[in-house]
Structure formats: C-alpha cells, structure tokens
C-alpha cells in the first residue's frame, strides 16, 4: 500500500513538472525594441547618397576638395534646417528650457456618421490610424472577469488592444486671477481626492495617401475590431459596463491622457477647425528641394550625360524627397481637399497645451496647460521580465507576481500614475520567425516533433492564450499652478517628481520580481509620451523605440486585470440577474429594458392601452415618481389620450413648456386652486341637484380618508351638516364651538381642532360657490373635452389638505358620472394614494368599501388610474390587487421588499446559477435596495417575470415650471380668462381687517363697532378691564343668546373677543394720571388707532366699486356708564386720516409748482404746460386712490362725483363748481397754443392760488390741534 502511495505521488509530481515545462517556454524571456530599421535606414541612406553625389561630382568638375566638402556640408545643414526635428526647438536664448511642438505633425478628425471613431494622421509620415476607446464605467461587486478566455478570444481574431489605468487627482478648473488664492486649497484637494479611469482601446491603421477607398477600408476594419471587442466583453466581462466613448467624450478622453486633466479650454461641443499650414516651414523645404534639383541638373548638364539619364536621376531625387522626406506636402495637397467635405470635422484635442524640454531634466517632459498649470511628466518602460509559470488546481499562477499590491503601494502614497499595456497577438508564422530561437531546448524539440502544420501551431499558441507582443509603460507626474513661466518653476517640480519616480521604481522592484523598468529620456521619452497619449504604437512609421516583450496570455492576464482595488474609484454594482423579455408590445414608451450582464439598453419598454389604465408606481422619491408620470403623460398626449393630473407640487406646468414649440401645446389646460377655481365642499356644483345628499356621502368618506377619522366622527359630521344644511365651513365651526357643554361629544373638540388646522386661506378655497358664476371654473371643465388637464393644488400647504381637495374633486366627478353620460374618459394621475388608502387605517376602520366606492365607478366609466405610492407597504393589499402593472423604484425599507417579493416575484436563488455551480444568487431583492434613480423594476400584466428598465426623462427633467403670469397668459390663449375667475373667487373670499382679525367670530363685527364707537366717546375716563368686559358682555349678549341659552358660553365668547381686541390693538393700555399729573401703576384701556384703520377698510370693502354714500349712523346709548352718556356720532370719514393724505398730496402739488417755475425761468414753456395740464387731475386722482386704497384709474364721472363729495363734506376749501372749473381749465390746455407763454404764466397763477388755499386749510387744522 505504501509503495502505491509513493508511486501515485511521483506520478502527480511528474504531471505537475510536465505542466510547468509546458508553460515555461523561454530560455530567456526575449526583449525587443520597437523600431522600423528599414524605413529609418532608407531615410538615412537617401540623404547620404545625395550628399556623396554632390561631393564627388563637384570634386570631379573642380578638382577642389575643399569646395566639394563645403557643398556637402552645406547640403547637410540645409537638410537639417528644413527637415530635421531640430526646427521644433524654439531658440529661447539665455534659458535652459525649450519648446518642443509634439502635436504639430498630427491632424485629428471625426467623420460625422461615426462619432465613436477618432482618426489621427501623422502628416509627416502619411500614416493614419483610427481608434475607439471603451471606458470601464461600472464594476461588479462579487464577480470577476474571465480574462484568460477574453485573451483567447481576441487572439483568435487577431485584435490588438491597449489597456490603460489612469489614477488621477481631482483637479479643480482654474480661473483667471485666482490661482494664488486657491493654489494651497487645490493642492490639499488633490492630495485627498483621486479618480480612477480604466480604458481599453482598439485601433487600425493605413499607410500612404488616405483615399476614399482606404478610408472606407479603415472604417470597416476598425468597426470589425470594435464588434469583436464588444463580443469579448459580452462573453467574458459579465456585469461590467464597458461604454464606447464618442464625440466630446472621446476628445476629452484623449486630451485627458495628454495633460492628465480636462482643461477649461476643451469645448463642451466640438467645433470644426481649419487645417494649419506653416508658411515658414513650407518656404524652407521648397527652397531645399529646389536647391537639390537645380544643383543636380546643373551637375548632370556639365557632365553632358544623356537627357534620359538626367531625367531618371531627377525623378529619383523627387521620389526620395517627396515620398520619404516631405510626405506632409502630399498631405496638404490631397487631405485638405478631402477635409472640405461636410462629413469631416477637424478638431484640436491639444489646444492650450505647450510642451517643453529642460536640459537639466532629460528624463522628464513638461506640459504647460493654458499658461496656468505646469506638469512634469516622467515615464518607465518594461525592458525585461523573467518569471515562471506554476500550474495550480484551477489556474496557472506566477509566484511573487501581484499587480494589485503594486497598485496598493502607489495609491497609498497618493502618487498619480498612468499604467499602459499595449498587446498585439502574434500569428504562428510570425512567432516561428521571431521567437523560435529564444525557446528552450525542450520546447524546440516538442515543436519540431509534434507541430507538423500551421493548424497545430495555432492550436499550440491557443493553448497558452496566445503569445503577445507587449509594451508596458508606467508614468507619474507632478504639477503646480503658475502665473508666469520661469526656470524656478521647473526646479520646484524636480524634487517632488524625483520622489515619485523613486517610489514608483521601488514598488515595481519589490512587487514585480525580476522585472526591469528603465526610465525613458529624450527622444524615447517623447515617443513614450505619444504612445501613452494615443494608446497605440501606430502613430509613426519608424517605430516608438520602446522595448516590448513576448508574453504568453497566461502572463498577460495578470498585467491587464482590473483589480478589486479600483472599485474604490469606479462605480460598483451588484451583479443582479433578470430575465429581460426579447419582445414587448407597447402603446407608449418611457425607456428601454436594461441588460444587467452588460449594463446596456436593449428594447423599448412601455405599456399597452389597457395597462396604462391600471398602473401602480411605487417607492423611490416623489420627484422621480412624478418624472416617470410626466413621461407617461407626454407620451399619452402625443397619441391623443387625455389625462387628468392632480399636481401637488406645482411642477406639472413643465408639460406646457415642453410642448412650447409643438401643436400639442394646445392640448393642455392648467387650473390652479385659488386662482382658476375654488371648491364648494357641501354642494356638488350641479345646478338644482336633487341628489346632493348622495354627493355629501362621498365628502364624508373623503374627509375620513384624508384626515383619518373613524366612523363615529364621520357620523357626527354627517348629523351636524344635516341639522345645518345651509351653513358654510366657517359657520359650521362656530356652531360647534358654541354648543352647550352638555350637547358636545368626544368628537366635537376633534372636529374643532381639525377646523383650526385649516388656515383662513384654506377656508377661502373651500368656500367658493362656482354655480351660476360667469367666469368661475368648475370641475366640469376637467372632464368636458379631450384635453389633458392639470389641476394644481399646491396652494394648500399640507399634503392631507391636498388629498382632501383631490378627493372633493373626485367626489364631484364620480357623483356627476353616476347620473350623466356627457363626459370624456381620461387617465387620472393619483398621487400619494397610500396616504389615502392606508393599510392601518382601513383595517382599523373595517371599511374596505371606501376603496371600491372611489375606484370602481371611475373604472366602470372608462377612466384609467396611474397611482403614485410613497412606500408600498403603507398601501392596503385590497388596493394593490386591483393593479396588475407595477413599477417600483428603489425600496430601502425591508417591509417594501417583502411586499415586492410577493407581488412581482423577486427571487433570491435560481438553482445552480447562470455561469457556475457556485453562482446561484440573483441578487434581485438586494438590488431593489440599491437601484439608481433612473432605474425601475417593472412587472407587466403580460409578462410572468419582473425585469429592469431604464428611464429616459432627461428632456422633461431639464424643463422648469412656468410662472403664474405665464400660465395665465397661456390659458388666455386657450380661451380662459383666469384673471376674471380669480377676481370672482376673491370677491367671494374678500375679507376686511375686521374679518381677518376676528376670524370665526366675524358675525359679531357689528356689535364690536357699536361697542368701540361708544367706548371711544368716553375713553378719556379710566376704563378698567372689568368695566370694559362688563359692557362688552352687555353688547353681545342679545345676539349670543340666540345661539346658546348658556350665559357661561356667552362669557367665554366675551373673553375671547376681549383678548382679540387687546392682542390686535383695538384696545390699548393706558395709565390714568393722579392729581399731580403723574401716571399711576393701574392699567386702563382706550381705543387704539388700529380701530380707525379697520373701520375705514370695512366701509371701503362694503362699497368697493362705488363712492362712499355718506350715512348718519346713530348709536343708541345702550351702555350705562357712570359718566356722561354717549352722544350721537355722525360718521362721514376719518378727518385725521384724510388730512394726512391731503398734506401728502399738497407736497406733491408744491413740487409740480416748483417744476413749472423752473421751466418758465428757462423759457421751456412746452414742458411747463405739460405739467400744468395734468396737475389738478393728478392731485384729485391720487387723493381718491389713497383715500379708498385703490390703484386702478378712475373715470371722469367718478372724478366729478368725488369733487362733489369733497365739497359737500367741506373737506377742501372749495365748492363743487370751483373744483370742476380748476379741473376743466387744466384739461383744456393746448400744447400747440400760439400764446403759450401767456397761457403758462396765467395758469401758474391759478395753480398757485389753488395751492395757497389748500395750504391755508392745513395750517388752520394744525393750529386747532395745537390748541
């Protein structure tokens, strides 16, 4: 037995050793340099041959070696000046840094029909490559990608790609003039805040002139690579969201790689730019070419060679110059013509970026961004790697090779970095040609023995997920804000940069064992930077000069893995699994189904006509529920289905603005409570309604549902209304308050408290009678036509009141459709239905009939319901089962989750899972707790499983609600005069100051006026509280006893009225004086000034549209004071207030006289006459408006009546005739009067006389008051 165990152990060890040998194929892992030696050699050889031709030919003709060498040297210098990269270095004398124009030779453009493809042309070398970038925008929480299979798939279809991780500080966009102020703040923000970007890009290139045929082929091949990459993502990156960037996103991404931030110079929208043409460069090159050709022709002519030989030499030189050295000329000649086509759009991703080289820092490249930020960029390149593969139970592993630890180390030190891996799969032919000699002897022998065909060779490569030509670079950078660039700025960045680079190198050495990373300097640094920026090595014909290695797919998967660490910087979601339908029948749509495997939209989603009438929208926030409802209503409007919307927040007017440029705008009406309509709670608004008691039954239930009152309280209200059928709400409340104690029940105070919660404004809205009132809008307008109606209830300040108002309207509608059939069926938007049909309330009340009472009549008559629910567990199950279509937003409450799990079938487990035996969790219930605002889970009547959908409401979301004035103007276009409707409402609800102050006790205003008038006659006598209360009791007693026979209730009423009189300052405290004239400590009361103001307002409102008809009010001396009786009081108008108004208008008249005098002094008689013409009328009009608190203009008849009133009551020192003469004289003044000077001066005298008489009266009044 022991020997068998040992034998098995040996066999196991031998199998493991064989597998190790299978994957460890290299003698030494080969490393190469990415350089095109042939093209580089041709370029060098061509200029050398031309130089030698000139030197030898000149020497043969002149036999002067010095002249020949000078010609050769001059040719070389001229060549360097015209074509060498040295021309890119700006001659900044006295400075250690120089400008290098890295992006000058590159043209970047889009083709409008393919916004996800960016084309980059190297003008100098005529090489164009197209690139598309995928950004990993979402990672799954608990799953990982099958990277090995991903690489196998890409190797099979030969798709090269670039994998890039960019860990960047969060830069704040800088603004002019504030760098210094915010530099320290921005540094702190950078140190503490990082963002992570993961990009995977694909590309393809074409050489030579980019003709239309080549361009189409380039598009075709890149789209094929995009398609293959998407397929690989779908197959192996489950629950990752890889978004293909397009338009501005693609531009911003490319620019972001170049300067490590998105600068303020990058436009939010792309703009087409013109190709740039360097005239100086053109002159230099054309001069060099002319020199070469003319001098060659000169030499050949002197040698007297045949003409054809001369032509061959010149043609060869032209081909050499224009095809090898001056390809950019062909670009300008041909590409500019192509770019004139409309579908091409030239862009400049690198606008505002200036690159510098500093002689003291050859290992760094500097970027100046917008002349505000200086960045020092350093790079490392993987030049060698030696590692061995070890088979594991489930995978192949590489000991001491943990990229995640490297990321941890760098991120922990707050070092920004860019990690780039470019991988190109090798064919077996290329592998055999390049790499065979580097294989170890065992693998060579195996290949020689077993690989007898290319098919077997391809299979051998597939076994190790391919062999990839891999370029790996890492870079880091530091930055600072600057005002003016100086050498000091470069030096300040050097120390910090050196620290970062050393940390990066040490981390690589510690974690990537036997990996050699070399710093890039000078030209290799520039190549590396362009490689990192363009994410491709195809930007040049000569090669990047970077090191690349041949790495098997099993090793490459570690280098291109998206580690869990990056979940800190990238959005992470649960890998939820739903079975989304492949087909849906839709009448209207609101978004698309969402495939959570790829986090992408699939098919449009919406509802059928029957489903939209039976829809429940639950959970989430009220705002997002309303957005979905708005989207549905927008779709309904476009298909001609009207809706009735109850707007609790005032936001639904967005619909009108949304359709502002559409004919559908005229299919919307907007009515606001208190502005367009009011509500009569106790009447159905149906003229001569014999069935109003049936309507009241709905009101009783509405009251119960809105305010959660039990059946006994509702019965109490029912009986009270039956006993007082003609009372309004205010009178009803007063009736309840004045009930004798023995008649009150336990519900009386509850009802009284409820009425107290209703503000005076609320009572106004609920006391409007719309029957037989022209211009007042009733509920019939809501269901009379096929227009969508918005009923705005936001004037009410509490959701319970809004629900009550909504149910009042529904009660009127239901009552109407029960007896009449002249109405339009509509879809009703029913917000906060869970607050009305609350589960706890309905169960406690044991009255589910209220649900059917309101919902069934509407459904029976063809109305639809879209009900919005705050939290579904509040809604009674009896209501839930009536809705077969449910949309749920995020539900964090476990009680909501429990309900949803049962009614829409959310799952926790699904057998063995979709992808592996251990993957058996669908995360559906957990996902409901974490959904985004634009995501919903939908259960439709025609599907047996729930699925995820994504909303598309951005167009509505960006709209803003309309102002009230805009709504009024809009409704006027629809034929509704809301200003007239509001006026009728206000007329019914108009309250005087007395009514506002005394509220529900306003029926005693007449007694209060009698009491205060009588008190005012004797308020100089000390009236103490007890005496005032006694007399107030006597005044109200007779009327109060008509409502209650209880003197105790009358005293309570008396005390309540007294408290109002004191608190509202109708009565003010006073302190009587003793014999010495000093105020005593005792408190008495006198009538305050507030009473005069209230009394004046009272009579103005009572006769609001007519002049005051003076009456004599005689007050009977009902009060038995110990002092002299109260005399008869004649009320005309408060003289004290009138005199104050008159004094104010006298000052205005004086100012007019001053202006007239000034214009007369300047001989500007025209201006003086204009003031004179309107002076008397302005004086009388302002006097009238201030006296009666009116702002509107008054007619001539009213003005003359007012003159009569003033004269009759001797309020001014004129008769009626005199006032009218003054008025008519000024009105008849003619601006074209030929004797204008005489007219102006005589009128000035008349007005001065008028002013003097007014002033004299005021002086006499003041003297009387002083005495």
The string of pLDDT tens digits covering residues 679-720 is 888 888 888 788 888 999 999 899 899 988 888 878 877 887
Confidence band (pLDDT; 50, 70, 90) for 55? confident
CB atoms within 10 A of CB 1192: 5
435-459 burial, b if ≥16 CB within 10 A, otherwise e? Answer: beebbeeebeebbeeebeeeeebbe
- d(CA 988, CA 984) in angstroms, rounded, equals 6
Match 């045949």 to its residue by tokens. Answer: 306
Using the 8-state DSSP alphabet, how is residue 31 labeled? E
- d(CA 1245, CA 776) in angstroms, rounded, equals 53
Pairwise pLDDT comparison (1218 vs 1132), residue with the higher score: 1218
pLDDT of residue 1077: 47
CB atoms within 10 A of CB 965: 8
Contact 352, 369 (CB under 8 A): yes
- d(CA 551, CA 385) in angstroms, rounded, equals 9
- d(CA 912, CA 207) in angstroms, rounded, equals 52
CB atoms within 10 A of CB 58: 21
Confidence band (pLDDT; 50, 70, 90) for 419? very high
Match 């100046």 to its residue by tokens. Answer: 368
How much is the average pLDDT of 969-997?
A: 75
pLDDT of residue 989: 55
At residue 1030's C-alpha, the angle toward residues 1027 and 1031, to 5°, is: 90
pLDDT of residue 160: 96
Examine the pLDDT at 261 and tell me if it is beyond 80. Answer: no
pLDDT tens track for 199-226: 999 999 988 778 788 889 999 999 999 9
How much is the average pLDDT of 390-399?
A: 57
pLDDT tens track for 429-471: 888 888 888 888 888 887 777 776 778 888 888 888 899 999 9
- d(CA 950, CA 590) in angstroms, rounded, equals 8
How much is the average pLDDT of 255-269?
A: 47
- d(CA 443, CA 440) in angstroms, rounded, equals 6
pLDDT of residue 1121: 38
383-406 burial, b if ≥16 CB within 10 A, otherwise e? Answer: bebebebebeeeebebeebebebb
- d(CA 1017, CA 1003) in angstroms, rounded, equals 24
pLDDT tens track for 61-83: 787 888 888 887 887 887 777 77
pLDDT of residue 158: 93
Beta strands in 680-762 (DSSP E): none
pLDDT tens track for 868-921: 999 999 999 999 999 999 999 999 898 999 999 889 888 765 544 555 555 667
What is the sign of the dihedral through the CA atoms of 84, 88, 92 and 94? Answer: negative
- d(CA 729, CA 767) in angstroms, rounded, equals 7
Contact 1061, 1087 (CB under 8 A): no
- d(CA 712, CA 2) in angstroms, rounded, equals 91
Contact 788, 637 (CB under 8 A): yes
pLDDT tens track for 275-309: 565 677 777 777 877 777 777 787 777 777 777 77
pLDDT of residue 278: 64
Beta bridge partners of 476: 378, 417
pLDDT tens track for 167-195: 888 765 544 444 444 444 554 444 567 88
pLDDT tens track for 819-835: 998 999 999 999 999 99
Question: Which residue in 1047, 1054, 1061, 1042 sits closest to 735, CA to CA?
Answer: 1042
Pairwise pLDDT comparison (63 vs 839), residue with the higher score: 839
Q: Which runs of consecutive H residues, i.e. helices, occur in 975-1118?
A: 978-989, 993-998, 1005-1017, 1025-1040, 1047-1063, 1089-1102
pLDDT of residue 742: 56
Average pLDDT value over all residues in the chain: 80
Confidence band (pLDDT; 50, 70, 90) for 939? very high
Pairwise pLDDT comparison (310 vs 128), residue with the higher score: 128
pLDDT of residue 129: 93
Backbone angles phi, psi at 1133, to 5 degrees: -165, 155
- Which strand (E) or helix (H) includes residue 1167? helix 1165-1188
Contact 318, 327 (CB under 8 A): no
812: three-class secondary structure by DSSP: helix
pLDDT of residue 1147: 78
Highest mean pLDDT (candidates 319-323, 407-411, 929-933, 1127-1131): 929-933
915: three-class secondary structure by DSSP: coil
pLDDT of residue 1068: 84
Examine the pLDDT at 109 and tell me if it is beyond 80. Answer: yes
- d(CA 502, CA 380) in angstroms, rounded, equals 11
Contact 1096, 1137 (CB under 8 A): yes
Question: How many residues does the structure list for the chain?
Answer: 1267
pLDDT tens track for 607-628: 999 999 999 999 999 999 999 9
- d(CA 363, CA 361) in angstroms, rounded, equals 5
932: three-class secondary structure by DSSP: coil
CB-based contacts of 503: which residues, under 8 Å, 6+ apart? Answer: 410, 413, 415
Examine the pLDDT at 977 and tell me if it is beyond 90. Answer: no
- d(CA 325, CA 316) in angstroms, rounded, equals 13
Examine the pLDDT at 1194 and tell me if it is beyond 60. Answer: yes
Contact 992, 1054 (CB under 8 A): no
- d(CA 412, CA 1154) in angstroms, rounded, equals 81
- Which strand (E) or helix (H) includes residue 1227? helix 1216-1227
991-1019 burial, b if ≥16 CB within 10 A, otherwise e? Answer: bbbbbebbbbbbebbebbbbbbbbbbbbb
CB-based contacts of 186: which residues, under 8 Å, 6+ apart? Answer: 171, 172, 174, 481
Q: Which runs of consecutive H residues, i.e. helices, occur in 935-1004?
A: 954-957, 964-973, 978-989, 993-998
Hey, where are the domains in the chain?
Answer: 37-83+277-347, 99-273+348-568, 620-885+957-964, 991-1102, 1135-1266
C-alpha pair distances (Å), 1193 with each of 270, 451, 1178: 56, 106, 11
- Domain 991-1102 sits in CATH at 1.10.10
- Which strand (E) or helix (H) includes residue 900? helix 894-903
Pairwise pLDDT comparison (1227 vs 671), residue with the higher score: 671
How much is the average pLDDT of 982-990?
A: 62
pLDDT of residue 177: 41
Question: Which residue in 680, 766, 672, 673 sits closest to 971, CA to CA?
Answer: 672
Q: Please tell me the least confidently modeled range out of 45-49, 793-797, 845-849, 1068-1072.
A: 1068-1072
Q: Please tell me the least confidently modeled range out of 507-516, 1039-1048, 1178-1187.
A: 1039-1048
pTM value is 0.69
- d(CA 535, CA 539) in angstroms, rounded, equals 9
pLDDT tens track for 6-45: 443 444 444 444 444 566 788 778 889 988 766 666 777 7
pLDDT of residue 414: 85
Contact 51, 75 (CB under 8 A): yes
Three-class HEC string of 612-637: HCEEEEECCCHHHHHHHHHHHHHHHH
Share of the chain above pLDDT 90, in %: 27
Examine the pLDDT at 817 and tell me if it is beyond 90. Answer: yes
Examine the pLDDT at 1123 and tell me if it is beyond 70. Answer: no
């Amino acid at each position: 037995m022991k020997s068998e165990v040992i034998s098995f152990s040996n066999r196991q060890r031998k199998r493991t050793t064989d597998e190790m040998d299978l994957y460890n194929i290299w003698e030494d892992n080969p490393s190469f340099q990415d350089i095109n030696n042939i093209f580089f050699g041709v370029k060098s050889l061509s200029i050398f041959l031309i130089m030698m031709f000139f030197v030898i030919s000149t020497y043969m003709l002149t036999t002067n070696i010095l002249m020949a060498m000078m010609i050769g040297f001059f040719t070389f210098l001229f060549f360097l000046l015209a074509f060498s990269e040295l021309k890119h270095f700006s001659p900044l004398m006295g400075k250690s840094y120089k400008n290098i124009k890295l992006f000058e030779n590159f043209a970047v453009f889009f083709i409008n029909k393919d916004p996800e493809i960016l084309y980059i042309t190297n003008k100098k070398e005529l090489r164009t490559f197209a690139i598309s970038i995928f950004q990993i925008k979402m990672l799954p929480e608990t799953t990982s990608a099958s990277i090995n299979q991903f690489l196998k798939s890409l190797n099979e279809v030969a798709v090269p790609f670039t994998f890039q991780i960019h860990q960047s500080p969060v830069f704040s966009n800088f603004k002019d003039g504030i760098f210094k102020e915010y530099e320290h703040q921005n540094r702190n923000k950078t140190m503490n805040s990082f963002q992570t970007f993961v990009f995977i890009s694909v590309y393809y290139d074409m050489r030579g002139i980019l003709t239309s045929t080549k361009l189409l082929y380039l598009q075709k091949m890149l789209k094929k690579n995009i398609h293959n990459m998407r397929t690989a993502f779908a197959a192996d990156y489950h629950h990752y969201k890889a978004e293909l960037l397009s338009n501005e996103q693609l531009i911003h991404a490319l620019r972001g790689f170049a300067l490590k931030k998105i600068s303020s110079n990058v436009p939010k929208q792309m703009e087409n730019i013109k190709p740039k043409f360097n005239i100086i460069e053109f002159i230099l090159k054309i001069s060099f070419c002319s020199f070469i050709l003319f001098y060659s022709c000169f030499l050949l002519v002197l040698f007297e060679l045949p003409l054809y030989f001369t032509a061959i030499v010149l043609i060869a030189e032209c081909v050499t110059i224009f095809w090898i050295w001056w390809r950019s000329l062909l670009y300008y000649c041909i590409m500019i013509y192509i770019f004139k086509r409309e579908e091409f759009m030239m862009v400049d991703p690198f606008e505002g970026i200036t690159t510098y080289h500093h002689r003291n820092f050859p290992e760094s490249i500097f970027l100046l961004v917008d002349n505000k930020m200086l960045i020092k960029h350093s790079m490392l390149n993987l030049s060698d790697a030696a590692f061995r593969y070890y088979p594991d139970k489930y995978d192949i592993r590489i000991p001491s090779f943990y990229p995640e630890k490297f990321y941890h180390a760098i991120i922990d030190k707050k070092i920004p970095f860019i990690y780039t891996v470019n991988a190109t799969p090798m064919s077996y032919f290329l592998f055999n040609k390049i790499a065979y000699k580097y294989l170890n002897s065992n693998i060579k022998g195996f290949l020689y023995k077993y690989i007898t065909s290319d098919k077997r060779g391809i299979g051998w490569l597939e076994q190790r997920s391919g062999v990839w030509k891999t370029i790996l670079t890492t870079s880091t950078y530091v930055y600072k804000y600057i005002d003016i660039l100086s050498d000091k700025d470069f030096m300040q960045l050097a120390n910090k940069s050196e620290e970062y680079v050393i940390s990066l190198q040490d981390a690589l050495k510690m974690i990537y064992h036997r990996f050699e990373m070399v710093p890039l300097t000078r030209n290799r640094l520039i190549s590396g930077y362009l490689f990192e920026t363009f994410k491709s090595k195809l930007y040049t014909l000569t090669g990047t000069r970077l090191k690349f290695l041949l790495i098997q797919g099993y090793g490459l998967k570690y280098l291109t893995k998206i580690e869990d660490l990056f979940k800190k910087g990238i959005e992470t979601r649960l890998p939820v699994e739903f079975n989304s339908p492949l087909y849906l029948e839709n009448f209207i749509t609101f978004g698309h189904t969402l495939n959570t495997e790829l986090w992408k939209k699939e098919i449009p989603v919406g509802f059928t006509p029957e489903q939209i009438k039976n829809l429940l929208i639950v959970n989430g926030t009220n705002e997002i529920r309303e957005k979905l409802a708005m989207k549905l209503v927008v779709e309904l409007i476009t298909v001609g289905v009207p809706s009735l919307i109850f707007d609790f927040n005032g936001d639904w007017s967005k619909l009108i603005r949304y359709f502002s440029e559409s004919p559908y705008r005229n299919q919307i009406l907007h009515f606001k409570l208190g502005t367009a309509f009011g509500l009569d709670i106790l009447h159905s608004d149906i003229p001569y309604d014999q069935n109003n008691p049936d309507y009241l039954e709905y009101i009783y239930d509405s009251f119960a549902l809105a305010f959660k009152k039990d059946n006994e309280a509702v019965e109490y209200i029912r009986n009270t209304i039956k006993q007082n059928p003609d009372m309004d709400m205010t009178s009803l409340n007063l009736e309840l308050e004045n009930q004798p104690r023995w008649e009150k029940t336990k519900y009386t105070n509850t009802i009284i408290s409820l009425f107290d919660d209703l503000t005076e404004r609320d009572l106004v809205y609920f006391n409007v009678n719309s029957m037989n009132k022209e211009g007042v809008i009733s509920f019939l307008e809501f269901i009379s036509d096929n227009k969508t109606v918005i009923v705005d209830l936001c004037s009410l300040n509490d959701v319970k009141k809004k629900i009550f108002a909504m149910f009042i309207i529904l009660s009127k509608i239901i009552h109407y459709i029960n007896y009449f059939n002249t109405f339009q069926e509509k879809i009703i938007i029913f917000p906060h239905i869970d607050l009305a049909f609350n589960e706890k309330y309905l169960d406690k009340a044991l009255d589910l009939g209220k649900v059917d009472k309101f919902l069934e009549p509407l459904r029976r008559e063809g109305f639809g319901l879209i009900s919005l629910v705050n939290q579904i567990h509040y809604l009674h199950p009896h209501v839930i089962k009536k809705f077969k279509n449910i949309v749920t937003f995020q539900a964090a409450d476990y009680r909501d989750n429990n309900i949803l799990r049962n009614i829409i079938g959310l799952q926790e487990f699904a057998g063995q899972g979709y992808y592996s035996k251990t993957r058996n969790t669908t995360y559906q219930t957990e996902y409901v707790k974490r959904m985004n605002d634009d995501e919903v889970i939908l259960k439709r009547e025609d599907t047996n499983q729930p699925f995820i959908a994504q909303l598309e409401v951005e167009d509505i979301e960006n709209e803003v609600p309309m102002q009230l004035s805009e709504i009024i103007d809009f409704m006027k276009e629809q034929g509704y005069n809301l200003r007239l409707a509001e006026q009728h409402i206000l007329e019914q609800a108009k309250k005087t100051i007395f009514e506002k102050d005394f509220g529900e006790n306003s029926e005693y205003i007449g007694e209060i006026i009698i009491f205060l008038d009588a008190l005012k006659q004797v308020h100089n006598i000390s009236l103490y509280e007890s005496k005032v209360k006694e007399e107030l009791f006597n005044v109200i007693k007779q009327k109060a006893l008509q409502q209650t026979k209880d003197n105790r209730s009358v005293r309570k009423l008396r005390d309540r009225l007294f408290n109002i009189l004191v608190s509202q300052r109708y009565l003010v405290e006073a302190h009587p004086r003793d014999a010495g004239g000093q105020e005593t400590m005792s408190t008495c009361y006198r009538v305050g000034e507030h009473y005069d103001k209230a009394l004046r307002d009272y009579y103005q409102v009572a006769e609001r549209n007519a002049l005051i008809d003076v009456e004599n009010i005689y007050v009977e001396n009902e009060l038995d004071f110990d002092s002299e009786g109260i005399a008869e009081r004649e009320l005309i108008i408060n003289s004290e207030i009138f005199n104050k108004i008159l004094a104010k208008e006298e000052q205005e008249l004086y100012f007019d006289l001053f202006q007239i005098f000034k214009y007369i002094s300047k001989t500007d008689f025209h201006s003086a006459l204009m003031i004179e013409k309107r002076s008397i009328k302005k004086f009388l009009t302002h006097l009238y408006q201030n006296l009666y608190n009116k702002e509107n203009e008054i007619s001539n008849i009213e003005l003359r009546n007012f003159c009569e009133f003033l004269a009759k009551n001797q309020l001014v020192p004129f008769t009626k005739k005199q006032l009218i003469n003054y008025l008519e004289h000024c009105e008849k003044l003619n601006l074209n009067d030929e004797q204008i000077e005489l007219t102006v001066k005589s009128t000035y005298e008349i007005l001065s006389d008028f002013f003097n008489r007014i002033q004299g009266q005021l002086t006499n009044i003041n003297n009387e008051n002083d005495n």
